[in-house]
Amino acid sequence: MPVTKDVLLLQVITHNRMTDKKEKILIAALKLFANEGYNATSTSKIAKEAGVSEGLIFRHFGNKEGLRDAILLDGEEKARIFFADIIFETDPQELIRKFLNLSRKVAEDQEVSDFWKLQYKLKWELEVYGEHKMEPLEHALSVAFSKMGYPEPALEARLLLINLDGIATRYFLQKNFDLDAVISFMHTKYKL
Amino acid sequence: MPVTKDVLLLQVITHNRMTDKKEKILIAALKLFANEGYNATSTSKIAKEAGVSEGLIFRHFGNKEGLRDAILLDGEEKARIFFADIIFETDPQELIRKFLNLSRKVAEDQEVSDFWKLQYKLKWELEVYGEHKMEPLEHALSVAFSKMGYPEPALEARLLLINLDGIATRYFLQKNFDLDAVISFMHTKYKL
Amino acid sequence: MPVTKDVLLLQVITHNRMTDKKEKILIAALKLFANEGYNATSTSKIAKEAGVSEGLIFRHFGNKEGLRDAILLDGEEKARIFFADIIFETDPQELIRKFLNLSRKVAEDQEVSDFWKLQYKLKWELEVYGEHKMEPLEHALSVAFSKMGYPEPALEARLLLINLDGIATRYFLQKNFDLDAVISFMHTKYKL
Amino acid sequence: MPVTKDVLLLQVITHNRMTDKKEKILIAALKLFANEGYNATSTSKIAKEAGVSEGLIFRHFGNKEGLRDAILLDGEEKARIFFADIIFETDPQELIRKFLNLSRKVAEDQEVSDFWKLQYKLKWELEVYGEHKMEPLEHALSVAFSKMGYPEPALEARLLLINLDGIATRYFLQKNFDLDAVISFMHTKYKL
DNA sequence: TATGAATGAGGCTTCATTCAT
DNA sequence: CATGAATGAAGCCTCATTCAT
């Protein structure tokens, strides 16, 4: 999977170009936006959390929206990396299996979990779904379903992604949600 | 289904007891909270939208949270009414058909649509899922699947509800989401 | 002491003319103004404490100042009654003895205590001393000191009243103030 | 008395460290709190008087209480300085003479006068006497009376302080109060 | 690049007061 | 006489943003 590596490399380079403090701001903002929401997080709280003066946020990102957009841009990249392993899978059954296990992978890593929580929180707060981010994944799923002989592969793919949104909703918001039970059940439904 | 009617009647009576202005505030707040979010909606905006002095909000609801909670309480009742028709359906196939058409019904009425949008927006803003509201519906679906001979009726029911969350996410956030295509496809998947 | 009796009688009559609710407002306001201050006491708090609608305050007293003035007027009367026993004392030594014991009498009755606390609190909040209320008392003390052969009876009287203000300051504000010790000491200073 | 001088010097240095605007706020608040009372003075009035934005008050002092406490803290220091000259006097007669002239000194300087007025106003508004501030002075007076052979030096000292409270009450609240007459009379009473 | 004092607009809330009933 | 819904001004405070250093 050379793509992943390249992207990761690119990311490292980009990050090295950033000042320490600029990155501290991004990390602090990510954490606070994810846990308290965009509107509920003040720039002064971000500055405090980042250990940085408030003015610096505006020097680096222009304004609060600029900071938010920088985080979202960062996110698109991270999402691409996160999805790359699935998209380039050639065995259809394995591809779907990997897709279904996505949420388990998210659940395993607190930082990744926080990142996706932010994505969903911002979606709802800003009312922008950002569907283009999911297109490659939807396409790959569609191809897989097609190979497996499903009569409506495009709709099957879309349904699966919709399901992922539903699972995310539950996973991030419902305290006692049993993720494993649902994922296992889906595996059996798709005969994997 | 006399229960539904009684509840509706009760509601009408209750509403008539409310001052005109108190209800105007509730309606304005519902609309604004749903479309801009709780934190992003100022009490002065609500007052302006309702054609009312800002102070009146606090006389009737104590504070902004009180207003929010009043709307949520109202919502629980409306949700019960909204679900009643499904829950009391005795034919399992018809029950699931009605359930799948829920989102279409929501889409038909702007006010109902706003109300459900608010429910989801607040879920994410306050990070509380409020799972108990869905339990009767989940139970009814489970019974229906059981009658229809599904091997895992409880999990089928849960999955359907998760799907509903996913559809809501798309319907409210994705500009070009084709609701009908997805719903139709699900009908065929469940052989209805 | 017919004066006292007449004044008391007048008061009773006046009170009977008052509605129950009007008096409830006066009592509640007295209590709240005395303990929280004039500015810090809202009319709604008074209404709640009095078990009365907020509007009634304005029907009876015009506005918040009107209520305050009604209380102060009431106070002048009560003060006259309170001082009458001293002023009409003919034996100079006994007069001064009675005066020195004034504060002890205040300390014995919670309601009287509250009333004088209000008087001082309002003095400081409104910056009006109301010196005329004390004139008859000062005059009586002056006459007594004169009879007792003091070279500067007027100044002795004034000093004693100033002392009373100091004692009030301590009694109402200093938690561990030992009133008795100070009063006893003054008795010996004036050889009583 | 080098102590006094050192303290004053320290104060000057400290003040220079303060921003101009921070001190302007303190001065304006002192004036307004002293003349209108704490509750009756709005933060916006203070800002206007200080020629400063309202928000700055909160940046520097957190909230209105924080501003009040800053003034009170400042006050304790100033009071110590103000009393130092008396406390370190070794000649008992001179000490008492200086004490009696305290109020004259206050009356001579409008700013000092404002400061002590604030102290008393806040005492009554907050119902806290703050007796500890006066202890060193009371002790010094007690020692002086003892040296002068008074039989009850501790009570004499306390009585003198109580008298000071009474004089303050009159001086700050009674429009036509003749301070000099009373002070002169007290000088003769204490044979000074 | 980095700070933090400073600002002005706006946010939530309380208050005295009015008025229809 | 009495209520309590309704108002508008003001109060305290927070926020995003600017700017001199």
The two three-digit tokens of residue A36, written as one number: 């308290």
- Please report the pLDDT score of residue D6 as a whole number: 46
Give the model's confidence band at A110: pLDDT under 50 very low, under 70 low, under 90 confident, else very high: confident
Which is nearest to A138 in space by CA: B72, C130, B182, C70? Answer: B182
Superfamily covering domain D15-189: Tetracycline Repressor, domain 2 (1.10.357.10)
In Å, what is the CA distance from C35 to each residue of A168, B79, C32? 55, 49, 5
From the CA of A64 to the C1' of E6: give the distance in Å: 19
Answer whether D166 sits within 8 Å of C170, measured CB to CB: no
pLDDT for B100-120, tens place per residue?
999 999 999 888 898 899 999
Q: Which CATH number fits domain A1-75: 1.20.1440.230, 1.10.357.10, 3.40.50.300, 3.40.50.450?
A: 1.10.357.10
- Please report the pLDDT score of residue D17 as a whole number: 47
In Å, what is the CA distance from A148 to each residue of A142, A154, B181, C131? 10, 12, 22, 101
How would DSSP label each residue in chain D? -HHHHHHHHHHHHHHHHS-HHHHHHHHHHHHHHHHH-TTTS-HHHHHHHHTS-HHHHHHHHSSHHHHHHHHHHHHHHHHHHHHHHHHT--SHHHHHHHHHHHHHHHHH-HHHHHHHHHHHHHHHHHT---GGGGHHHHHHHHHHHHHTT-S-HHHHHHHHHHHHHHHHHHHHH-TT--HHHHHHHHHHHTT-
CA–CA separation, C60 and C70 (whole Å): 10
Fold of B1-77: Tetracycline Repressor; domain 2 (1.10.357)
With CA of D64 and C1' of each nucleotide, the nearest comes out as F12
In chain D, residues with a C-beta closer than 8 Å to the C-beta of C166 are 161-167, 169
- Please report the pLDDT score of residue B3 as a whole number: 44
- Please report the pLDDT score of residue C17 as a whole number: 52
The CATH class of the C1-83 domain is mainly alpha
For chain B, how long is the longest CA-to-CA vector? 58
In chain D, residues with a C-beta closer than 8 Å to the C-beta of C169 are 123, 129, 162, 165-166, 169
Chains D and A share 3 or more Cβ pairs within 8 Å: no
Q: Which residues contact D7 (CB under 8 A, 6 or more apart)?
A: D77, D80, D81, D84
From the CA of C29 to the C1' of F2: give the distance in Å: 19
- Please report the pLDDT score of residue A79 as a whole number: 85
Nearest-Cα residue of chain D relative to residue C41: D39
Is the CB of A37 inside 8 Å of chain B's CB atoms? yes
- Please report the pLDDT score of residue A168 as a whole number: 97
Is the CB of A88 inside 8 Å of chain B's CB atoms? no
pLDDT for D54-88, tens place per residue?
999 999 999 999 999 999 898 888 888 889 999 99
pLDDT for D139-163, tens place per residue?
999 999 999 999 999 999 999 999 9
- Please report the pLDDT score of residue B39 as a whole number: 94
In chain A, residues with a C-beta closer than 8 Å to the C-beta of B40 are 39, 125
- Please report the pLDDT score of residue C18 as a whole number: 63
User: Rounded to a whole number, what is the distance in Å from the CA of C139 to chain D's nearest CA?
Assistant: 16
Is the CB of A192 inside 8 Å of chain B's CB atoms? no
CA–CA separation, D3 and C187 (whole Å): 40
- Please report the pLDDT score of residue A130 as a whole number: 82
DSSP state of A90: -
Give residues 135 to 154 of B whose Cβ lies within 8 Å of A. Answer: 152
The domains of chain D are located at 15-189
Answer yes or no: are the C-beta atoms of A111 and A56 closer than 8 Å.
no
What is the H or E stretch that residue A127 is in? none
Is the CB of A190 inside 8 Å of chain B's CB atoms? no
Q: Which residue positions in chain B have pLDDT lower than 50?
A: 1-17
Q: Which residue positions in chain C have pLDDT lower than 70?
A: 1-18
Give the model's confidence band at D18: pLDDT under 50 very low, under 70 low, under 90 confident, else very high: low
pLDDT at D109 over 90: no
A135 touches strand F (CB under 7 A): no
- Please report the pLDDT score of residue B76 as a whole number: 84
CA–CA separation, A120 and A127 (whole Å): 10
User: Rounded to a whole number, what is the distance in Å from the CA of D8 to chain C's nearest CA?
Assistant: 30
Chains B and C share 3 or more Cβ pairs within 8 Å: no
User: Rounded to a whole number, what is the distance in Å from the CA of D12 to chain C's nearest CA?
Assistant: 32
Is the CB of C40 inside 8 Å of chain D's CB atoms? yes
Answer whether A162 sits within 8 Å of B163, measured CB to CB: yes
Is the CB of D1 inside 8 Å of chain C's CB atoms? no
- For residues A152-174, average pLDDT: 97
What type of residue is B99? F
3-state secondary structure of A191: coil
**Which of D127, D165, D173 minimises the CB distance to C166?**
D165
| Least reliable range by pLDDT among D10-19, D34-43, D101-110 | D10-19
CA–CA separation, C153 and C139 (whole Å): 10
Is the CB of C172 inside 8 Å of chain D's CB atoms? yes
C19 touches strand F (CB under 7 A): yes
CA–CA separation, D72 and D30 (whole Å): 9
Other beta carbons within 10 Å of B74:
17
Is the CB of B42 inside 8 Å of chain A's CB atoms? no
Answer whether D120 sits within 8 Å of C125, measured CB to CB: no
